[in-house]
Structure 1
Amino acid sequence: MKARRPGEPGPADHTAPLLRVDELVVDLPRPDGDGRAVRVVDGVSFDVPAGTTVGLIGESGSGKTMTALAVIGLLPDRAATGGELVWRGEDLLRPGTDWRRVRGHQISMIFQDPLAALNPSLTIGRQVGEILRRAGRPRAEVRATVIDLLGRAGVPEPERRMSSYPHEFSGGLRQRAMIALALAGNPSLLLADEPTTALDVTVQARILRLLRSIQQEQGLAMLLVSHDLRVIAHVADEVVVMYAGRVAERGRAAEVLRRPGHPYTRALVASVPAVRTRTALADPLPGAPATPANRPSGCAFHPRCPLARDRCRTEVPRTREVAPGRWSACHFAEEVLIP
C-alpha cells in the first residue's frame, strides 16, 4: 500500500478529530538578538472535531495567533517547533510536509487586517480566483466561481465589484472578500484570526452570522482566534483559554463561560458583563498580563490571582481533567469550580 505524504488526505476516520494539536511548542528568537529563544507557545493541546468551532481566547501576547499560524505553516522563518499537529492522521510538523497541498486547499485563513492581507495592486476578483487558476481551471469557470464566492460572502453586485481594488471596499466588504478568498480552495478547516476586530459592532455581528451560516452550510470546522469573550460565546462550541503561551482551561464553551474552572477564566468572564447578565457591572481584570517573554515562575497567572499560594509561585500546574470534558491548569481548580 502506498504511504501518504504529510498533509495528504487519507481514509476517513470518523472517531478522530479533524485536527489534533498535541503539546505544540513554538520558539522564536528574542528581538534583542542575544541568541536566546522565547517559548511563545508552550505545550498547547486541543482537538478540532469536524464541523465544530473551537475558540482560542486570551489577552494580547497569550500565543493565540502563533498557534493558528503554526497550524497553517506560516510561522516566521526562524521559528522552531515541537509537539504534533495531526491533520487527517498525518503530523504536519514532520519534515516533508507539502504545505502547498494543505494551505488554501485543506486549511485556509482569514486574517485580522484584510487591507494588509490583500494585494492593493490586484483586483478583488483576481485575488479570489488565484487558487482556481493555479489549479488549471478554465477562465470562464474561474470567473463564474469567483462571482459565486463573492455573492455567498455577501458582497453586493459581485459581478461588478470583482473588478474593484481593495481600497475601494469598506472594511466590512474587505473582510467579506477575505472570506470568499479563504473559501476558494474548498477547505475543511477555516482559521479566523480576530476577523471582526477592526469593524464596528453592527458589521461585526453580520460577519459572525455570515461565518456561522457558511460553516453550517458547508460543514466546515473553524478555529476562531479572539480576545473578545462575547464573540466566543456567540460562535464557539469549544473554547481554549490561553495565558502567556499556555492553556489555562479548555472545554465546552457554554460550560466554561457559565462555570469557569480557572481563576483567569473567571476573571475574564467577570470583566465582560454581557457574558454574565445584561445588568451586571464589569469587574476589570487587575494587573498587566504576563507574556512568554516575561513569564513568571510557577503558574504564570499567580501575580494576578486572588487564590495564589506558595505552590503557585514555584510549581507549573499540569493540565488535568477536573470534570467530564473539562481541563484546567490550576492547582486548585476544584475550588474555582465551586459555585
Structure 2
Amino acid sequence: MTDALLQIEHLSIDLPGPAGPVRVVDDVSFAVAAGRTTGLIGESGSGKTMTATAVIGLLPAGAEVSGSMWWQGEDLVTMAEKDRRRLRGRAIAMIFQDPQSALNPTQTIGRQVGEILRRGGMPKQEVRQKVIDLLDRVGVPDPRTRHAQYPHQYSGGLRQRAMVATALAGSPQLILADEPTTALDVTVQARILALLRRIREEEGMAMLLVSHDLRVMAHVADEVVVMYAGRLCEIGPGREVLSSPAHPYTRALVVSVPAVRSRTAIAEPLPGSPASPADRPSGCPFHPRCAKARAVCRTEVPQMRQVAPGRQVACHFPEET
C-alpha cells in the first residue's frame, strides 16, 4: 500500500505464561492508510487489542515483540522508549475501551484533556481555552463549566467524548480506538461512531478501530482485517469483506449478526468456542469450528494469498466460502 501511514510486517507478540511464552499475535501483516479507517475484527482473544497496543507501545510487562511496524521510515519495534514517548499522544493517540478506568478519578476532565498540551509548553490560559474548544467540538455540553468537573460527574457517553477530546489534543496522525463503544447503549454508540467518523474526515487522520461488533465496522471501516487466535484470516475493503466474505470465519461472524446482512435475516450462531492462543489447534486454527474443514485444514497452516484486487485470505478453499 503506497499511501500507508503505518505498515505492520510479520508482527508476532509473545506473553509470559505458566508453561512458557504464549504467542498471542502470530505473523500479522497489514497497513493503515492515511486518512482512512482500518478495522480489526475478531472475537475475544483474537489478538486485535494486543496488535493495537503494540503500535502505541503499551504492551504488558514481559511481552516480546518481533517483526516490524514502520512509521514514517522508523521501526516502532526497535525504536528507543524515549522516542516512543515522543510519538505517544502526539503522532499516535489511543481511545481506550473503558473511559471509567482510563480516566483518573482524582483529576478534573480539563486537566486530563490538557495534559499533552501542558507537556508541550503551551501557556496555562491557552491550554484552558484549547481544552474548552476540544470538549465543545466533541459534543460535551457547557464545556466552560464541565471542563472543571470530575469523571464521576460525567455520563458514560460524555466520558467517552472526553476520551476522544484527550486523543485529539495532540493533533495525532493516527488514532487507535479499542472497542470505543462497547460499554455504551445503542443510541450513544451511534453518536460516538458518527463523532469519530466526522472528526477523522475533518482532520484527515487515520484510525485503527478495534472491535468485535460487525455492525460498528459496517458503518465506519474503509478496510477490514479479520483475526482469529492471533492469526490473520482475511483482509480487504470493508463493504466487500462484510457483504461477500472469503474466509469461513468471516462468513460465520457475518451470519451470526443478522443486522449486517438485512433486517429480515435469521441469525446463525457460531458453533464452538474461540481457540486459545495458548492451545492453538494444528493447521488452520479455525478448522475445529469450520463445517467445510478437510484433512489438509487440520495439518497445514493456510498462508495469506490474494483472491481479488485488494483482497487477501488465509484459507485452503476460499472459493467454497
- TM bracket, shorter-chain basis: over 0.9
Q: Partner of 1:10 in structure 2?
A: none
Query: How many Å separate the matches in 2 of 1:23 and 1:84?
Result: 7
1:90-143 deviation digits (Å, cap 9, x = unpaired): 111114251111110000000000010000000000100111111111111100
- Give the structure 1 partner of residue 7 of structure 2: 20
Cross-structure match for 1:77: 61
Q: State whether residues 258 and 266 of structure 2, in contact with CA within 8 Å, keep that contact through their aligned partners in structure 1.
A: yes
d(CA) in 2 for partners of 1:196 and 1:162?
22
For residue 314 of structure 1, what is the aligned residue in structure 2?
299
Residue segments in structure 2 that go unaligned for 5+ positions in a row: none
Query: RMSD of the alignment, in Å?
Result: 1.0
Distance 2:123 2:80 in 1: 31
Q: 2:252 & 2:236 partners in 1: Cα distance?
A: 17
- Equivalent-residue separation in structure 2 for 1:312 and 1:15 (angstroms): 33
Distance across 1 between alignment mates of 2:276 and 2:206: 29
2:242 — aligned with what? 257
**Aligned-pair distance for 1:275?**
0.8
Question: Offset of 1:89 from its aligned partner?
Answer: 1.6
Task: Provide structure 1 residue ranges, at least 5 long, that are not aligned to the other structure.
Answer: 1-13
Deviation at 1:50, TM superposition (A): 0.3
Matches within 5 A, 1:191-206: 191-206=176-191
What displacement does 1:16 show? 3.7
The amino acid of 1:210's aligned partner reads L
Contact 2:3 2:34 in 1 (8 A): no
Superposition pairs for residues 320-335 of structure 1, below 5 Å?
Answer: 320-335=305-320
Number of the residue aligned with 2:142:
157
Structure 2 counterpart SS, 1:18: strand
In the TM superposition, 1:120-199 aligns within 5 A as: 120-199=105-184
1:45: which partner in 2? 29
Distance between the aligned counterparts of 1:192 and 1:291, measured in 2? Answer: 24
Give the deviation of 1:294 after TM superposition. 1.9
Alignment correspondent of 2:204: 219
- Name 2:91's counterpart in structure 1: 106
State how far apart, in whole Å, the 1-side matches of 2:28 and 2:252 are.
21
Cα deviation, 1:275-302, whole Å, max 9, x if unaligned, reads: 1111011100011111211210100000
Task: Check the 8 A contact 2:56/2:93 in 1, yes or no.
Answer: yes
Q: Name the amino acid aligned to 1:256.
A: V
Aligned match for 2:258, one of 273, 294, 297? 273
Identity %: 69
- In the alignment, the residues of structure 2 paired with residue 218 and residue 324 of structure 1 have an alpha-carbon distance, to the nearest angstrom, of 28
* Rounded Cα–Cα distance in structure 2 between residues aligned with 1:16 and 1:208: 24
Counterpart of 1:221 in structure 2: which amino acid?
A
1:296 to 276, 281, 285: 281
1:167-210 Cα distance to aligned partner (Å, 9 max, x none):
11000000000000011111000000000000000000000000
**Are the structure 2 counterparts of residues 95 and 189 from structure 1 closer, same or farther at C-alpha, using a change threshold of 3 Å?**
closer
Aligned to 2:219: 234
Q: Which amino acid counterpart does residue 167 of structure 1 have in structure 2?
A: H
Q: TM-score, normalised by structure 2?
A: 0.98
- 1:323, distance to aligned residue in structure 2 (A): 1.2
TM-score using structure 1 length: 0.93
Structure 2 counterpart of 1:66? 50
Instruction: Give 3-state SS (helix, strand or coil) of 1:279's partner.
Output: coil
